[in-house]
């Protein structure tokens, strides 16, 4: 098991990629803190992990609030003993073409996707630096390269990539790696409402001609959290079926 005796905190883990990552990490020997704004969703995933015999806790919290982020980390350390791995998976989208995008749509997406990632990294630094060990994996997106109707989302994810590079430089002195996974189109609740004609258009641009499964993104999280990635930091790994190659 690649994560035996490790403690992982995964944000936005009440469903989708976060849930798939939490389940995989538990299978690989980690104790898992399942964070989500939706407490019910977090509890459901933590219960599913517990049924397998692994240890998990559910922690509700809002990643846009500094106090909540600090409490999520504190609760993880208190209940599971330490914090080795942070997966910043929480994210939202509120799409609109730029000329019609509201200030609320802009602020909401930047607050969760970029500010929330920063606040969680900041909160995790204390226990990780004290232990002289840490793995942080942030979430960007193929959308960081630009996408019509997603000025807010694209900006937030491009920001996450820049944040990752900077924190990799700052956190290296504490033996903490900071990397980024950038998924392409993935089968999640976020993409479930895409109209069929738009979905086919997107699939036609992907060399593999299909959306990723959440479990495939989870495997990238696992690699970057493992000892096999001990000398990798500041990098963005695109898990997109090859679509970024042609952009």
* Entry pTM: 0.96
Question: Which domains are delineated in the chain?
Answer: 7-239 (3.40.50.720)
The alpha-helical segments, DSSP class H, found in the chain are: 16-27, 39-51, 66-80, 103-110, 116-131, 151-171, 196-205, 214-225
By three-state DSSP, how is residue 217 classified?
A: helix
Range 79-98 average pLDDT:
98
User: Are the C-beta atoms of 33 and 85 separated by less than 8 Å?
Assistant: no
**Active-site annotation holds for 231:** no
Q: Mean pLDDT of all residues in the chain? A: 96
User: Residue 112: its pLDDT value, please?
Assistant: 98
pLDDT per position as a tens digit, 140-189:
999 999 999 999 999 999 999 999 999 999 999 999 999 999 999 999 87
User: Are the C-beta atoms of 92 and 117 separated by less than 8 Å?
Assistant: no
Given the residues 133, 153, 174, 231, select the one marked as catalytic: 153
Range 18-37 average pLDDT:
98
User: Residue 190: its pLDDT value, please?
Assistant: 75
Whole-angstrom CA distances from 86 to 73, 108, 137, 143, 241 are 9, 22, 6, 22, 25
User: What distance in Å separates the CA atoms of residue 213 and residue 121, rounded to the nearest whole number?
Assistant: 26
């Amino acid at each position: 098991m690649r994560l035996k005796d490790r403690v992982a905190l995964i944000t936005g883990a009440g469903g989708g990629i976060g849930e798939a990552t939490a389940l995989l990490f538990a299978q690989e020997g980690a104790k898992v803190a399942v964070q989500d704004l939706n407490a019910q969703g977090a509890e459901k995933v933590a219960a599913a992990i517990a049924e397998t015999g692994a240890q998990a806790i559910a922690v509700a919290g809002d990643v846009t609030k500094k106090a909540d982020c600090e409490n999520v980390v504190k609760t993880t350390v208190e209940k599971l003993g330490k914090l080795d791995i942070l997966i910043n998976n929480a994210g939202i989208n509120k799409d609109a073409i730029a000329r019609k995008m509201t200030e609320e749509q802009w602020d909401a997406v930047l607050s969760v996707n970029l500010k929330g990632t920063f606040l969680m990294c900041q909160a995790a630094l204390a226990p990780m630096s004290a232990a002289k060990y840490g793995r942080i994996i942030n979430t960007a997106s193929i959308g960081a390269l630009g996408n019509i109707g997603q000025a807010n989302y694209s900006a937030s994810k491009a920001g996450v990539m820049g944040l990752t590079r900077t924190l990799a430089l700052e956190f290296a002195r504490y033996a903490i790696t900071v990397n980024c996974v950038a998924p392409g189109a993935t089968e999640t609740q976020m993409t479930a409402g895409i109209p069929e004609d738009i979905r086919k258009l997107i699939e036609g641009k992907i060399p593999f001609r299909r959306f990723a499964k959440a479990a495939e993104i989870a495997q990238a999280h696992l690699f970057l959290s493992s000892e096999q990635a001990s000398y990798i930091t500041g990098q963005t790994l695109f898990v997109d079926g090859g679509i970024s190659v042609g952009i």
